Each structure stands twice: as structure tokens, then as C-alpha cells.
Structure 1
Amino acid sequence: MPVQNAYNAYKQNSVTTASPGELTLMLYNGCLKFLTQSKKAIEKKNYEQKNMYIQKSQAIIAELMTTLNMDLEVSKNMMALYEYMYARLSEANMKMDVAIVEEVEGLVTEFRDTWKQVIQINRKQQFASGDSV
């Protein structure tokens, strides 16, 4: 039990000390985790778990939507893709369709990988300019 308490404290601390960019990365990773679990639930024909995991994925996508700065053109394009992913997950939930979940998983993976690169570039620029993190 003490190990689990230490792990939970570590997880909580990692969230509370993360930068906004790192939090976004955590959201993408969480979404991917729930999409993987939803595929497994579909394959096992576990309707309750499938629904729960797809809804958790949709909640993360909805949270990502709220973080967009709609003054930027790129945000408008991202919003359209987020809306598409959200709608496709609703369809996957109704149809029990692993292929649709995999389609969304591919899009989320691309977003996550791109975001990870942005974080790395920003860190390099901060260190090159002498700013501390």
C-alpha cells in the first residue's frame, strides 16, 4: 500500500508542476490510453467498458477544444479536426467499430507527436537563449 500511495503522490505532483505544454501532452497520452482500452473492450464485446473508455476519450478531446486560442487560424483548423474526432468516436461507440477508433487513434497520435516536437523545440530555444525552466 505505501508504494501505491507514493505513486499516486508522484502522479499528482507531475500534473501540478507540469507546464501547459506538458499538460497538453499528458492529455494526448491519456486519450491514446483510453482509445486502446476501448478497442480491447470492443473486441471483448464489453459494451459498458467500451462506452466508458470512448466517453473518457471524448472528454479529453472536449478539453483540448477548450484550450484552443480561436484568434489563431491554426486553432480553427484544429477545432474542425477535434470535432471530427469527437463525432467519429460517437459513431464508433454506436457501431462498436474498432476501425473508427483506430482512425481517431491515428489522428491523436499525429497531434501528440507534433506537440512533443514543439515542446522539444521550445526547450532547445529556451536553453540556447539562457532562460531557465
Structure 2
Amino acid sequence: MNTNPRAAYMDAAVATASPARLLVMLFERLVLDVTRALEAQRGGQVEEAHRQLVHAQDIVLELRSSLRVEEWDGGPGLASIYDYLHLQLVRANIAKDVSLTEGCLGLVTDLCATWREAAVASLNVA
């Protein structure tokens, strides 16, 4: 049993979220991770930037592995975007390159907004 009220709330939120909401939550965390990594890079906090970028890479790998490419026409294109994003996050981490991290942030922000819109649209259809 979790005695931390915030952690318990988050556990319940995840356990009761729809698949669309879970996807949006993942992207929101991805945006947060890349934002934190960028701030850490700009502040010279190499270890923190590394930690945030590795977590972001883990999220992208999870998104990629759960993608059912064959189930819709856009699947292969989205898989390519996830593969590209993962590679750029790795490069940003290795090179400690702020401009690469900024590019990743732009991409994940756009993807998050797109998935958020899709989730809202799916509610309006149901």
C-alpha cells in the first residue's frame, strides 16, 4: 500500500485512465522530461540533463514498442518519427547539445498537442 498521497493519487489516475488519456499522460511527461533536460543543459547540470534525457528515451522506446504499426496506415510513419526522436535524444545526450534538445522539445510538444487533440476528438465521437 502506498502511503504517499501524491503517489497514491497518480497510481489511481493511471489505473483508471482510458488508453487515449494514458497516451496523453505519457506525452505530457515526455515534454516535461525534455524541458527539464534542456533547462539542465543550459544551466550546466550535466548529470540532471542526462537523467532527464534517459527517461525521455525510455518513454519513446515504450511508445515505439507499443505501436501497432500494421493496424493503421499512419503506423509506419509514426514509427519512423519515434525512431528519429529516440536517435535525436541519444545524440543530444551524448553531445550535450542544446540545439538538438531544443529540436526534440519542439517535436515532442507538437506530438503531445496532436495526441491531446485526438483524445478530445475521440470523446466527442463516442
Q: Same fold (TM over 0.5)?
A: yes
Counterpart in the other structure of 1:9:
8
Secondary structure of the residue aligned to 1:45 is: coil
Question: Cα distance, 1:6 vs. partner?
Answer: 2.2
Secondary structure of the residue aligned to 2:69 is: coil
Paired letter, 2:30: C
Structure 2 gaps of 5+ residues are none
Structure 1 gaps of 5+ residues are 127-133
| TM-score (norm. length: structure 2) | 0.91
Counterpart in the other structure of 1:119:
119
Provide the C-alpha distance between the structure 1 equivalents of 2:89 and 2:44, rounded to a whole number of angstroms: 16
Provide the C-alpha distance between the structure 2 equivalents of 1:44 and 1:124, rounded to a whole number of angstroms: 43
> Could you say which structure has the larger radius of gyration?
1
Question: Cα distance, 1:125 vs. partner?
Answer: 1.4
Aligned-residue RMSD, C-alpha: 1.3
Number of residue-to-residue matches in the alignment: 123
Percent same amino acid at aligned positions?
A: 27
| TM-score (norm. length: structure 1) | 0.87
Question: Cα distance, 1:7 vs. partner?
Answer: 2.0
Counterpart in the other structure of 1:97:
97
Deviates more, 1:78-87 or 1:66-75: 66-75
Higher relative CO (CA 8 A, sep ≥ 6), structure 1 or 2? 2
